[in-house]
Structure 1
Amino acid sequence: MRTGPFAAGAVALVLLLTWIAFRGMSAELDDWKHASTVLEKIETARNMIDRDVLSARTGILRNYDSIVREVGVLRTNLERLRADTGDDAEIGDAIRALQDALARDEGLIEDFKSRNALLQNSLAYFVVLNRNLEGQEQYQGQGQGRDFAGQIGRLAAAMLRLTLDTTSGSIAHVDAQLEVLLITSIATGNVVAAQPLLEHGRMLRDQLPATDALLRNLLSSPASGHMEAVQGLIEERAAAAGAAAGMFRYMLYIISVLLACMLVYLGAQLQARARALRFRANFEHTIAAISTRFLSSGSADLTSHVDLALSELAACIGADRAYFVDGRTAGVYQWSRNGVEPAPGWPERARLLAAAFERGDNGTIHVPAIRRIARATTGARAGREIDRGSGDAIDRMADAGLHAWLGVVSSNAECPGGILGFDALRPGPMTKWHDYGLFRMAFDTISAAVERDRLAREKERLEAGLQQARRMETVGALASGVAHNFNNIVGAILGYTEMARERVPPDSRLAGNLDEIRLAAERALALVDQILTFGRRGTSQRKLMRVRDLVDETASMLEASLPPRIELRIRDSSGDTRIPADPARLQQVLMNLAANAAQAMDGKGVVDIAIAGIESKDAVRLGSDELGPGRYATLTVTDRGRGMDGATRERIFEPFFTTRPEGNGLGLATAREIVREHGGAISVRSAPGEGTTFEVWLPCAIPESRPSGSPPGRQLPPASLRGDGEAVLILDGDGRRLLRLEEIVAALGYEPVGVTRAEEAARSLGRPGFEFVAALICQPRSSAFEISALLRREAPDLPIILATTSAADIHPPVLAAAGIREIVHSPVTAAELARALSLCRKSQETAAGEASWGTMATGPLSPTE
């Protein structure tokens, strides 16, 4: 039979069926349906914009994020609609008309956002000013003050009517009330107090009608008509595509019937050939079933599944014994037919005998007629050549009672010695087997299952080791996020407490209560700082220093903080061992460990700190961490206190776990995180009644030739911390926080000028009659430097104070380049801000250009960005 024409006809038929199937699936119909769906999304987004615009006008919607998001949805879906409709000119014209209408609407939306924002802000100020003026006039009681208060109420009622009805009558009524209020304020001497209210009233009188007119123009957009036109065109195209698809599906059905008749004829022709492949198919099916069982089984079922696999493979080829030896672990799996006992020393001897044979295809060795080969004297081999070196191996197989043997040896250099073997103790199918590739597949399947089981056990071991680290990482991130929000709440409590304290007599009971509130807030801030330190992620500023210097600096602080009956002993055998360290953070580790030791001894005893240098040639496991070979500095803190049991030792490094009612459970968790950040590890040894030993390992560095210490920081000069009425510019985007900062600055004796935007701050610097002593920026660090640069352009010599929750990762040259003289901790406290403002006053009295760096916020600070 000539295959050329048949192949050409088959290819042509396949192409024809493919084309008809493609047309029958009607990809065009799907495209039109998708285009219709996209158009519905555009209409939905347009309706949502109308809803949000109306909500924004009534003041329900506080920001325009949803409007911006919906405008983006409009743009995206409009591009998708254009792509789905393709090159259809008529629909393209309709889409362009729709796009123009939506572009017009987008311009109106932008104009509305600007006008509405101005309207809402002015309305809010109008309400605040109205309430303040009404409250002030209530105390005047009668006469002209009562008339002025009444006119304020009438103006508020007219303005409320205008917000609901912007017709000419309402506008005229507001104009009349504004005029009457102006006359009344002149008559009562309240012109200055009424002026802001009048200004905002006039602004509302102008903005409310203009905004409503813009809103009516937006709601009467022609976009709806254009969308209906596009929808009609899409539905026409979809109907045409559906009709064409139905015709092609009918054609496909007819051709399918013809092909079914042809397949029946070809099936009869192939039946004979299928019998020849049945044996191979059964074997492949067996391998597939074995592979499926391995994939779905667990480690506990591995041995039984391997034994079952060996029995099934042996049944396919007529073997009496089957075995698998894992070359990596020397594990043995074997199966024998009923009544057949394994040969002595088998299958270990099979591994040795296999080395004497030459490997065939895919690493297989097949000896089909062992007894006949053993009797041969001329070296003739049945079906293949066996060299003289294999003669002894053949004899030993014959002595073991084998008729035939088939083996597959490992071809993986990383796992030598693995073997899959089959023994035939009687003549049978094994003597006629020649398809060795399937046996390589069987070997790889079993080997992969055994290796996967080994890796699974190794994975379980590694996961158990990493479980604690993952849990602490998650808890650290959660604690950090909660602490940042809690920091702002505590800051507000502390700020308002300080302002209230200034307004009460020093020796009153209320002053004592406020002092207790302030102390509680400060303790809360200290706890927040400790949580932030635990949850901090990132690199710290480190320097090279001697371990003994670090311990000596910490010892001086410990002697002042530990109970008087605690003796501190230091033993040093480290010599000149140096480590790259963040001194403040490592001091915190030693302080926590020493404090725990003192508490474990109930405030009486000896805390022993031992310093040593260790050279490790092998990996070292400390707790759940493992350190590689290298040189390390060790810090060992030992006490003879109560000690801990095993359950407590397992949990002492967990965050928020504590055995003391007054503890917070972050000391040891933070210590371990700090040690890990330095590339080290920490472990604990303890038993009840035998004390506790904490051992800290830190990687050493090559000693430097110059001292690693840095000169002590400049101390604050003694000066008065209160101002003399100097102006201070305050920039904070949070209005409520800005009011609190203004009160704190005013309480310190300065004149606060608060703004919420950088442009307002720049304009304030140019106002005549204001000489600012400093500018306080309370903005995220990502924008604070840009704002500082803007202020420096307006006033180059103005000292700038930055309020931030973190200064640990800001380099002084970066601050100097931005013109920032001082840094205070956020939330701002009166005492710290007073010191910073005092330094700014001093800096303006010194020669121009002197860089004055103020007191940084103490304690562990964590970045907010």
Structure 2
Amino acid sequence: VEFASLRILDEDTQQMGLLAFSGPDGVEPPPDILPLQSPSGLALQEGRFKIEYAVSPEASSSQSSSTNSGTVCTIPLIGQRPLGVINVASTRAGHFTPDLVKLLTAIGEGLGALMENAHISDEREQLARQLVQSQKLETAGRLAAGVAHDFNNLLTLIMGHAYAGLSKLSDDSPPGTDLEEIEKAAGRAGELTQKLLAFSMRGEMEHQEVNVNELITGLEFMLGRLMGEDVEIDLSLEPDLDEVRADQGQLEQILVNLALNAKDAMPTGGTLTIQTGSSNLSTNDIGRRSGKLGERQVTISVTDTRTGMTQAVKERVFEPFFTTKADGSGMGLSTAYGVIKQGGGDIVVESEPGKGTSFTIYLPLLEQAAETSQTPRT
């Protein structure tokens, strides 16, 4: 065998990327990407060993040769799903004997099984990490709800006494200024308790019919002012999206907060991308996102182009009071998490150091949310 290449299928793009290539010195490697409509892709979809005439393992796919100077074989790699292909080729006639074909087929089946086992192991490890994180957030939510309830009762007493004291003093009385500051501070503390309740999914929300594209377009002018000249805003809105069930005011605040976080991550400028779309809940999403298999959701992604997060930061990013900012409260993202989850949706983060950060919000469609709310609870 003079040529060999290994390609892995990307389930999202439905294209096969080149992972490895071996060939004689001076021979250019095949294309980095092949579509599923290529001969190799068709062999993978059909799940069968395929032999054709070509110059190199990819010649028949790229159609770069008009002469039959060799034979190329495509061996599909299949586990519980199509995984990729191995292409091997020889310029010698009759090189691929029936025994060699059987051997290559066995190698493909064995490699496919190994890849599937590795994929399942990675999925289980990831699900275990997500379960631990979900349990941590649930525990923090219960604690936050209890603290917020007790704290709110104390604040009611403080504000009541401050108001009563103010009512007995004249406007120019010196103690009146102190009581006013106490009342203001108690008011700010009350806002904090509302954020804690939102995180614990026990706050009051006004769910309504929301068109996310119209909501984002309505925020565009304000976001432009907030971002300044150094940050370019790119809106990529999928047309004709279904309407969702959400608290419009809360959703607006979440998007503004995500945009401000993105600005902080781009101190020297960059691009803020807000993208909308739709997503169907697949088997890979079960256990990671709310909803039923096949359920359609509207997505909103807010992405920056700068510093990114470490894995340690990413695992704690939705915890209340956790912040990497010197002047941050640590409540913005935890509030967003609680509000989105209370509305039957999800918010996830993808980030790597130096590669930027993307927050994606998944929102239930209006009719699906209505069906869920009408389902009797036991």
Which of residues 221, 224, 246 is equivalent to 1:581?
246
Aligned equivalent of 1:637: 302
How far residue 678 of structure 1 moved from its aligned partner, in angstroms, is: 3.4
**Is 1:662 the equivalent of 2:327?**
yes
Report the CA distance shift for 1:621/1:607 in structure 2 as closer, same or farther (over 3 A). Answer: same
How far residue 527 of structure 1 moved from its aligned partner, in angstroms, is: 0.6
- Does the Cα contact within 8 Å between 2:309 and 2:353 map onto a contact in 1? yes
Report the CA distance shift for 1:668/1:623 in structure 2 as closer, same or farther (over 3 A). Answer: farther
Aligned equivalent of 2:185: 520
Aligned equivalent of 2:148: 483
Report the CA distance shift for 1:613/1:624 in structure 2 as closer, same or farther (over 3 A). Answer: closer
Which of residues 259, 262, 273 is equivalent to 1:608?
273
- Does the Cα contact within 8 Å between 1:622 and 1:682 map onto a contact in 2? no
- Does the Cα contact within 8 Å between 1:653 and 1:668 map onto a contact in 2? yes
How far residue 484 of structure 1 moved from its aligned partner, in angstroms, is: 1.1
| Whole-angstrom distance in 1 between the partners of 2:183 and 2:224 | 28
| Whole-angstrom distance in 1 between the partners of 2:154 and 2:286 | 40
| Whole-angstrom distance in 1 between the partners of 2:215 and 2:324 | 29
Mapping 1:171-570, distance limit 5 Å: 463-504=128-169, 506=171, 510-537=175-202, 541-555=206-220, 562=226, 568-570=233-235
| Whole-angstrom distance in 2 between the partners of 1:467 and 1:699 | 25
Cα deviation digits, residues 44-72 of structure 1 (max 9, x gap): xxxxxxxxxxxxxxxxxxxxxxxxxxxxx
How far residue 548 of structure 1 moved from its aligned partner, in angstroms, is: 1.2
- Does the Cα contact within 8 Å between 2:277 and 2:299 map onto a contact in 1? yes
How far residue 643 of structure 1 moved from its aligned partner, in angstroms, is: 2.2
| Whole-angstrom distance in 2 between the partners of 1:458 and 1:640 | 28
- How many pairs align? 250
| Whole-angstrom distance in 2 between the partners of 1:617 and 1:474 | 26
Which of residues 621, 625, 642 is equivalent to 2:289?
625
Cα deviation digits, residues 490-538 of structure 1 (max 9, x gap): 2222232233334445456544433332322221111111001111249
Instruction: Percent identity, please.
Output: 36
Residue type of the alignment partner of 1:574: P
- Does the Cα contact within 8 Å between 1:623 and 1:683 map onto a contact in 2? no
| Whole-angstrom distance in 1 between the partners of 2:337 and 2:364 | 15
State the secondary structure of the residue aligned to 2:309.
coil
Residue type of the alignment partner of 2:158: I
How far residue 546 of structure 1 moved from its aligned partner, in angstroms, is: 1.7
- Does the Cα contact within 8 Å between 2:241 and 2:298 map onto a contact in 1? no
Cα deviation digits, residues 403-425 of structure 1 (max 9, x gap): xxxxxxxxxxxxxxxxxxxxxxx
Cα deviation digits, residues 713-772 of structure 1 (max 9, x gap): xxxxxxxxxxxxxxxxxxxxxxxxxxxxxxxxxxxxxxxxxxxxxxxxxxxxxxxxxxxx
Report the CA distance shift for 1:494/1:606 in structure 2 as closer, same or farther (over 3 A). Answer: farther
How far residue 656 of structure 1 moved from its aligned partner, in angstroms, is: 2.5
Aligned equivalent of 1:694: 359
Residue type of the alignment partner of 2:282: D
Greater strand fraction, Structure 1 or Structure 2 = 2
Aligned equivalent of 1:673: 338
Cα deviation digits, residues 462-491 of structure 1 (max 9, x gap): 544322112211211111111111112122
Residue type of the alignment partner of 2:314: R
Using structure 1 for the length normalisation, give the TM-score: 0.26
| Whole-angstrom distance in 1 between the partners of 2:207 and 2:366 | 12
Using structure 2 for the length normalisation, give the TM-score: 0.55
Report the CA distance shift for 1:459/1:638 in structure 2 as closer, same or farther (over 3 A). Answer: closer
How far residue 631 of structure 1 moved from its aligned partner, in angstroms, is: 2.8
- Does the Cα contact within 8 Å between 2:197 and 2:203 map onto a contact in 1? no
Greater than 6 Å deviation, 4+ residue runs: 457-461
Report the CA distance shift for 1:551/1:563 in structure 2 as closer, same or farther (over 3 A). Answer: closer
Gaps of 5+ in 2: 1-79, 81-121, 369-378
| Whole-angstrom distance in 2 between the partners of 1:500 and 1:553 | 44
Residue type of the alignment partner of 1:625: R
| Whole-angstrom distance in 2 between the partners of 1:487 and 1:497 | 15
- Does the Cα contact within 8 Å between 2:241 and 2:278 map onto a contact in 1? no
Residue type of the alignment partner of 1:643: G
| Whole-angstrom distance in 2 between the partners of 1:666 and 1:466 | 22
| Whole-angstrom distance in 2 between the partners of 1:648 and 1:702 | 36
| Whole-angstrom distance in 2 between the partners of 1:629 and 1:542 | 24
Aligned equivalent of 1:242: none
How far residue 608 of structure 1 moved from its aligned partner, in angstroms, is: 2.7
How far residue 617 of structure 1 moved from its aligned partner, in angstroms, is: 7.3
State the secondary structure of the residue aligned to 1:625.
coil
State the secondary structure of the residue aligned to 2:251.
helix
How far residue 700 of structure 1 moved from its aligned partner, in angstroms, is: 3.0
Aligned equivalent of 1:298: none
Greater helix fraction, Structure 1 or Structure 2 = 1
Residue type of the alignment partner of 2:157: A
- Does the Cα contact within 8 Å between 2:290 and 2:344 map onto a contact in 1? no
| Whole-angstrom distance in 2 between the partners of 1:649 and 1:577 | 30
State the secondary structure of the residue aligned to 2:333.
helix
Residue type of the alignment partner of 2:325: R
Report the CA distance shift for 1:593/1:577 in structure 2 as closer, same or farther (over 3 A). Answer: same
| Whole-angstrom distance in 2 between the partners of 1:662 and 1:643 | 19
Report the CA distance shift for 1:624/1:662 in structure 2 as closer, same or farther (over 3 A). Answer: farther
Report the CA distance shift for 1:501/1:665 in structure 2 as closer, same or farther (over 3 A). Answer: same
Gaps of 5+ in 1: 1-328, 330-456, 704-865
State the secondary structure of the residue aligned to 1:694.
strand
Greater relative contact order: 1 or 2 (C-alpha under 8 angstroms, separation 6 or more)?
Answer: 2
Mapping 1:115-194, distance limit 5 Å: none
State the secondary structure of the residue aligned to 1:669.
helix
| Whole-angstrom distance in 2 between the partners of 1:622 and 1:657 | 28
Larger radius of gyration: 1
How far residue 653 of structure 1 moved from its aligned partner, in angstroms, is: 1.7
Give the superposed CA RMSD.
4.0
